[in-house]
Structure 1
Amino acid sequence: MNRIRIGAIGTGGFGLFALQQFLQVEGAELVAMAGTHREAALAVARRFGLSENMEVENLIQLDQVDLVYIATPPFLHFAQVRAALEAGKHVICEKPLALSLAQADELLQLARARDLLCVANLMQRYNPLFEAVRQLINSNVIGECLHGWFDNAAGDEGLSADHWFWDRAKSGGIFIEHGVHFFDLFEGWLGRGQVVSSQRSLRPGSGLEEQVQCVVRYGNGALINFYHGFTQPARLERQEFRLLFERGELTLEEWVPTRLRLRAVVNEEQSRRLMQFFPGARLDVLEAYSGVKRLARGRHKEFDNYQKIDLHDGLDVEKMRRYCELLRALFADQVAWIADRSHQRLITEENGRNSLAMACAATELAETNK
């Protein structure tokens, strides 16, 4: 693999976390950093042995920088990404790519014109559970996907009242700052969707946007509800995905999905295929059927069923270990494209653009439903 020299902008706590993963990819080297002189930035300098924390403008112009990694607050992304692209640098930017769709389109047009990388760090599709669930949906092994929801009861313990997260001019709001991850994930499962309803709730006495929800209709007719609430003590955080099928229900836990549970009624062939999708999973048989009891009905259809199952996968997976794996996989995929433009990436520029389009649509519709 070719050498890839990274200049990092915005070296806070997450920037350090991500860089430690990127730099484990063969050929990657951190050559410069820019940002504030807060303790978090100084920690990055100590971790990687860099003596200078330079100005953003100077870093972008360095000849020895091939790729700029941007981990600043969202309101800075557009200008910083554009400046890096204009300087001929590849870019990986933390989500969202920009605060508006027009800004994102301008960035992608510039990247295409200069044959440069310009991706948002949407790493969810590198999760092996993403591909397994995609195969499950496309196969119709347990019928069509009819409905689903993502429920994100997030903590706000580390978000003081004056944090930029609450300032929509700086963050874009919860859908744009946070929801893009999950819009992209579901688009990978169900294709492009359309926001059909959206709401938001303000924190009493402060006017801060603390809860949002929207419903997206996908091409097969499935309605998916997305809820994000930043209201919990950190120790009570909880994220859960649920997908309802004609003959079963799938649950994924954690915002980076690690644990999976599938409850369904299936015949012998379907049992075999499920274990192909989820090799190594634990399959418990809750009930077996024979004779006339094999026949079941739903949605005016008849189904042949051999058994009722409860399948579990990922019981031994640690979320943070998986998170590290996904960051390394995303970076390696993008570097491979830089080295060879024929390389087919799992995440491209369009992922950042399309997920932002969905988030903007949900934000605008919520505004009309005050």
Structure 2
Amino acid sequence: MRVAAIGYGAFGRFVLEALKELPEVRLYAVAGRSAERVRVFAEQMGIARWTTDWQTLVGDPQVDIVCVLTPPDTHAAIAIAAAQHGKHLFIEKPLALTLDDADAIIAVVQQKGVRAVVNHIMRYHPLYAWLRERIADSGMGAVRKAWFVNFASSEGIAPDHWFWDERKSGGVLVEHGVHFYHLFAWLLDDTIEPVTTFGHDPFEAWSVVRFPRHDAWGAFYHCFDKPGALERNCGGIAFERGYALFEGWLPLAVRIETVRDGTVRVEERRMPMSKERLYQQLIQSAFNDLLTAIRHPQHHVAADLHSARDAVRVALQATALRRDEKWKKSG
């Protein structure tokens, strides 16, 4: 499959380096805004064709798949144009910045009969899949609470980076929080209803939500203000008779604690690799899911457009519920 990448930033390079390892993938072309930078990038990656006009790539009959690796505010325009030209899509999260744009992507993908995967890689994580199976078994009783806390580093994100421009990124819940709404909706097989949100600025948010099927509460905290050495993130789910606990947004271990006959029993599963290698493998799993869907039209991908749209819905609703001023005054 010949792949054209639109975007080549630090994360774009990481994605393409992972895809380059897949035997079915040929990195055919790349587009970017700076002619010199995209030329150098193409040479470094061994990509034969480069351009500053992404529209020429989505219209190229040699291209099978378009990877949308640009800032969030551009995802919809590129994805829609590519699908209109019959290209399959691998789209970085978030799917879009508005529900109208998300719906427009879904509509043209369905109309043209192309396949698409959104890069919500956590649904491909083997440890999260194991945890989801354990939750479905109901051996720990009813779900009571769910949470994820993300003290992220801002190191490496320049002051003029698009991430800090809410018009381009959507703010922390849309740009970043969608990952965790998407994950926990899947883990708990539930929808998510935002209840309230607190934060000091668009890039800090404490989002309180409800899982209606379980009649359970959730809390998600995100900030990007820590030194790299102090970056921490962890999550978990509390049940009637147990806990599921994990460190890191891509954990290398998941721990389940349950009580049976008055005794605490512990199960733990681990991934014997570095976080960077795990990250690459999850990107590859998501892309392989897309390749399977292209070969077998009845195949349902794990990170589909509709679930990605719903994560955007939750993020937008949670953002609209922000109570910044009240938080500051009461603090």
- Which among 44, 57, 62 is matched to residue 59 of structure 1? 57
- Which among 287, 298, 311 is matched to residue 355 of structure 1? 311
CA displacement 1:341-360 (0-9 Å, x = unmatched): 02232221112211111111
How far the C-alpha of 1:200 sits from its partner, in A, is: 2.2
- Which among 14, 26, 29 is matched to residue 26 of structure 2? 29
In the superposition, relative to structure 1, how do residues 41 and 308 fare at CA in structure 2: closer, same or farther (>3 Å)? Answer: farther
Structure 1 match to 2:329: none
Residues 1:211 and 2:211 aligned together:
no
Cα distance in 2, alignment partners of residues 31 and 56 from structure 1:
13
Equivalent residue of 2:28, what SS?
strand
Structure 1 match to 2:278: 322
Cα distance in 2, alignment partners of residues 197 and 45 from structure 1:
48
Contact 2:28 2:49 in 1 (8 A): no
Structure 2 match to 1:196: 195
CA displacement 1:289-333 (0-9 Å, x = unmatched): xxxxxxxxxxxxxxxx16222333216442111111111111111
TM-score norm. by structure 2 comes to: 0.92
Contact 1:254 1:319 in 2 (8 A): no
Contact 1:243 1:250 in 2 (8 A): yes
Contact 1:45 1:51 in 2 (8 A): no
Cα distance in 2, alignment partners of residues 365 and 177 from structure 1:
16
Residues 1:259 and 2:258 aligned together:
no
Structure 2 match to 1:229: 223
Name stretches of at least 5 consecutive residues in structure 2 with no aligned partner. 327-331
Structure 2 match to 1:78: 76
Name stretches of at least 5 consecutive residues in structure 1 with no aligned partner. 203-208, 267-304
Cα distance in 1, alignment partners of residues 173 and 112 from structure 2:
30
Contact 2:38 2:51 in 1 (8 A): no
How far the C-alpha of 1:253 sits from its partner, in A, is: 1.1
TM-score norm. by structure 1 comes to: 0.83
Structure 2 match to 1:110: 108
In the superposition, relative to structure 1, how do residues 347 and 49 fare at CA in structure 2: closer, same or farther (>3 Å)? Answer: closer
Contact 1:89 1:116 in 2 (8 A): yes
Residues 1:310 and 2:266 aligned together:
yes
**Bigger shift: residues 77-86 or 315-324:** 315-324
- Whichever residue aligns with residue 192 of structure 1, its letter is T
In the superposition, relative to structure 1, how do residues 262 and 317 fare at CA in structure 2: closer, same or farther (>3 Å)? Answer: farther
Following TM superposition, the consecutive aligned residue runs of length 4 or more in structure 1 with deviations greater than 6 angstroms are none
Structure 2 match to 1:96: 94
How far the C-alpha of 1:192 sits from its partner, in A, is: 0.9
Structure 2 match to 1:146: 144
Cα distance in 2, alignment partners of residues 41 and 104 from structure 1:
31
Equivalent residue of 2:257, what SS?
strand
Structure 2 match to 1:269: none
Cα distance in 2, alignment partners of residues 244 and 65 from structure 1:
47
Contact 1:156 1:234 in 2 (8 A): yes
Cα distance in 2, alignment partners of residues 100 and 211 from structure 1:
20
How far the C-alpha of 1:41 sits from its partner, in A, is: 6.5
Cα distance in 1, alignment partners of residues 184 and 206 from structure 2:
15
